[in-house]
Structure formats: structure tokens, C-alpha cells
Amino acid sequence: MPDYRIPNATNQPLPWAGDADGALWKPNDIQRAKKGEEWPPAWQAPPNYGDGYFARYTAYHAAPTWSSYITTPNVINYGGNFQSAGFTASAGYFNAIKYRCTSHDWSLQAIQHGAGYGGTSTLHYRIGVWEGDNVNILTGAGLMSDTGNQSVALAWNSQYPTNSIPAPGLYTGAGGVEGTAVLSQNTWYTIGIVYTSSMTAASSYGVNGAGQGYFHGGASFGSGSFKATNSGGTTSVYCTFEANPYSSWGQGNGWPTLVGNYSSGLHTGPMSAIKARVWQ
Amino acid sequence: MSIIITKLEASGDEDFNTIYLYPEYCIIKSQFCFDQDDDTFVTIGLGGGTEITKAELLTRALGIHAKYPFLIPIDPPQPSPLRDRTEAEVETLVDDWCTEKNAS
């Protein structure tokens, strides 16, 4: 290793930064230090957020990892199957549920939606996120996120589905990418998925009392540590989510004509979990 | 392996937050016949929990059903409206779960 001097910090303007003994740095010193691998790695801050999932089932919580089978701590899933059969919504029907994070500002990245039941087809949909208790009623900050028209293959594996299609869910951002809109702590947001074309094969859904527990509605429930890692370290954010049925729905605002709610509510629905980022 | 009644155990993560985990003796880490009054559930386990028979599982299921009825769509596969399951349908629910888990 060459006996070159090592700078005492990485955040000083070069080449005028001082080295460890206070001498002035010259460009050639920098080249020599890098060549000698004596240059300290650039410092990077750990993430200022945590990523994870929140499920509506009473028996489950929030956790950083989703799996079709629980094998380790910090992993959640539905704990079983979507026990009911599937639903085949016509164009204009929708499912919706409202969520809030009572501990942090957050971003909704994706919703988990029931997989196929009894066959495969293409699911045509559009997801909106509205501030408040309603679908497509623009009040306050109004529409927070809109995927536009999207489609995805509705998977079917010849048995009760246990997971979303596709994993990790249907993204809620514009154009079908991860949603990034920052949603405020303690504020309800209604998430609606509108079926923009009639479904040709059924999608599965969960129902209360099918043996797997009950959809959670209301009280403080769904706490867990969401996590994110970069080269600066791992950030863990302990957060709490809630879910509840939405209130009502409206027309217009550039959305497809809505026919009505299909299956979501306190007791049933295909939207049983969300993928979210909580901000420190 | 047996049918057991148990509940998630409170534990702490590395930041000392409370998280709830399946006990080690749970072979199947999923839940059946969850009782929201005491947060207990039925699963398959070995060496822990409260071991019960299939008949006792049916008694538990009917007990929960009396408080918080198990629901079923009136016109399946359409998911709504819902109605309460009959006791015979609860028995079928239990039979199907035991068959799936190869439990008796």
C-alpha cells in the first residue's frame, strides 16, 4: 500500500480540502489516494422510510415481508386461502375500501387483489385513491393517485388462491407503477378499483367467518415494523394502519361510469392487503 | 401432529417494538376458527398449545358461530349478499379443513 495521505473528510470541496495533518490537498494527491485505495467510501444516509404490507384480517398485522407461507418472523400473509368462490364483475363495477396510517405519513404503492378463481383471463382495471371516505367524489385534496386504464393476467393455479396477482400487487401509481403520492398521517383515503371491462373469469375474494378470521374494521390494529435498506444502513419504522368500509360514490371527473360496488365492505372483498411506504 | 388451540405470542423486534409471532410448535402457520374474543385460533402443531379432537373442534366452531356467525354468499359465486351459514355448513367447513390438513 503506498504511503499516501488520507483525507480527513469526504464532504469538503476538493482539491482544497485539508488532509489529516492540515496540509493543502493538490489534485495529484487525490489521484494517488484513490489509486492506493485509501479514499474513504462516500457516506450515504440510511433510507428515511420503511416498506411493508398491511392485511385487513384480524388475525394478521403489518410486517415488512409478504409470503405465501409464514416461515419466519416479520412475515405476513392471509394465513390461508380466499375461502369463497370468485366474482365476475361487469364493466363499471368497483371494489373499494378506505385506509389510514395513524402513526406516519405514507405512500400507497400497490393493492393486493384476489387471484383468479376457476380460470384465467385478463383483468382490466383502473385504481384511484381519494382523500376522504368516498369513491370519485372530489372533496378537499381529492384525487391523490390514478393508474389510468391498466390490464393484467388473472392467474389461476387450480386451487384456492393464497396470494395476489401478480405479486406484490397491482401498482397504484400513474401508468401502473408504484404509487408515490404522499398521504397524510391520520387521514382516511379511499382506494377503489374499477373494472373497466367485464371479467371473463372469476377473481377470488375473502369473506368473514370462512375460518380464517375476520376482516378488521375500525380499532387500532395492524402494527408492525416496516423496513428499508441501502448502503448506509437499515431503517425500521414502527407504524399502525387501519381499514374500514368506504361511504359512498359519485360519477364524472373523467372516470368510467360507475355502476356500483361489487363485493367490498366490512365482511367481504378481494382487496385484503396493501403494500405501503411509511415516511419517518 | 395434532389439532391444537393456541394464539400468537408477543415478542420484540430489534427495535423493541411488540410483534406477534407463531409459536415454534405450530407446524402449520395459518389460522382456522379464529376467536376474536380471546385471539385464539386452531392450527396443526406438535408439543404445545391445547390439543383437541375433531369433535371438540366442531364444538368450538359452533360456539364461535353462535357469537359471530360464519358467513356465506347467498348466490355463489356472487360475493354478496351474504347470509349466516347453517350449522350443517359449519360442520362441512370443519370437515373440509380437517381433510385438507389430514387431521382427525
> Using one digit for the tens of pLDDT, what is the confidence trace for B58-77?
999 999 999 988 888 888 76
The reply to whether A226 touches chain B by the CB within 8 Å rule is: no
3-state SS, A15-81, equals: CCCEECCCCECCHHHHHHHHHCCCCCCCCCCCCCEEEEEEECECCCCEECEECCCCCCCCEECCCCC
Cα B66 from Cα A106, distance rounded (Å)? 39
Residue A87 to residue B78, Cβ atoms within 8 A: yes
* Partners of residue A208 in chain B, C-beta under 8 Å: 68, 70-71, 82
Cα A276 from Cα B42, distance rounded (Å)? 30
* Residue entry with cell 483525507: A7
The reply to whether A85 touches chain B by the CB within 8 Å rule is: yes
Q: Look at residue B8 in the predicted model and tell me its pLDDT.
A: 85
Segment 92-111 of chain A within 8 Å of chain B by CB: none
Between B41 and A59, the more confident residue is: B41
Secondary structure letter of residue B22 according to DSSP: -
The reply to whether B63 touches chain A by the CB within 8 Å rule is: no
Sign of CA dihedral B67, B72, B74, B79: positive
Residue A58 to residue B36, Cβ atoms within 8 A: yes
A178 contacts A171 by C-beta, under 8 angstroms: yes
A182 contacts A95 by C-beta, under 8 angstroms: no
- Band (pLDDT 50/70/90 cuts) for residue B29 is confident
Three-state DSSP at A127 gives strand
Between A147 and B101, the more confident residue is: A147
* Partners of residue A224 in chain B, C-beta under 8 Å: 17, 19
The arithmetic mean of pLDDT across residues B46-61, rounded, is 96
Q: Please say if the pLDDT value at position B5 is more than 90.
A: yes
Among A187, A220, A203, A210, CA closest to A111: A203
Residue B72 to residue A71, Cβ atoms within 8 A: no
For strands A49-55 and A62-63, give the pairing.
Answer: antiparallel
Sign of CA dihedral A55, A59, A65, A68: negative
- Band (pLDDT 50/70/90 cuts) for residue B82 is confident
Cα A34 from Cα A176, distance rounded (Å)? 43
The reply to whether B102 touches chain A by the CB within 8 Å rule is: no
List the pLDDT tens digit at each of the 280 positions of chain A: 555 555 555 555 544 455 554 555 666 666 766 666 556 667 889 999 999 988 887 766 677 776 655 555 566 655 555 555 678 889 999 999 999 999 999 999 999 888 887 778 889 999 999 999 999 987 655 899 999 999 998 877 666 555 566 677 899 999 999 999 999 999 999 999 999 999 888 887 888 777 667 777 776 677 888 999 999 999 999 999 998 999 999 998 889 999 999 888 888 888 888 999 999 9
- Rg of the Cα atoms in chain A: 24
Distance of CA B88 to the CA centre of its chain: 17
Q: Look at residue B36 in the predicted model and tell me its pLDDT.
A: 82
* Partners of residue B73 in chain A, C-beta under 8 Å: 84-85, 207
Among A55, A246, A260, A64, CA closest to A164: A55
- Whole-angstrom distance between the N-terminal and C-terminal Cα of chain B? 10
Grid cell in block for residue A152: 393484467
Q: Any idea what the Cα angle at residue B34 is, between residues B30 and B37, rounded to 5°?
A: 145
Sorted by sequence, the CB contacts under 8 Å of residue A7 that are 6+ apart come out as A17, A18, A19, A20, A25, A33, A39, A40
* Residue entry with cell 350449522: B87
Cα A144 from Cα A224, distance rounded (Å)? 25
Chain A nearest C-alpha distance from B56 (Å): 15
**Residue B63 parent element (H or E):** helix B54-67
Sorted by sequence, the CB contacts under 8 Å of residue A44 that are 6+ apart come out as A230, A231, A232
Cα A54 from Cα A77, distance rounded (Å)? 9
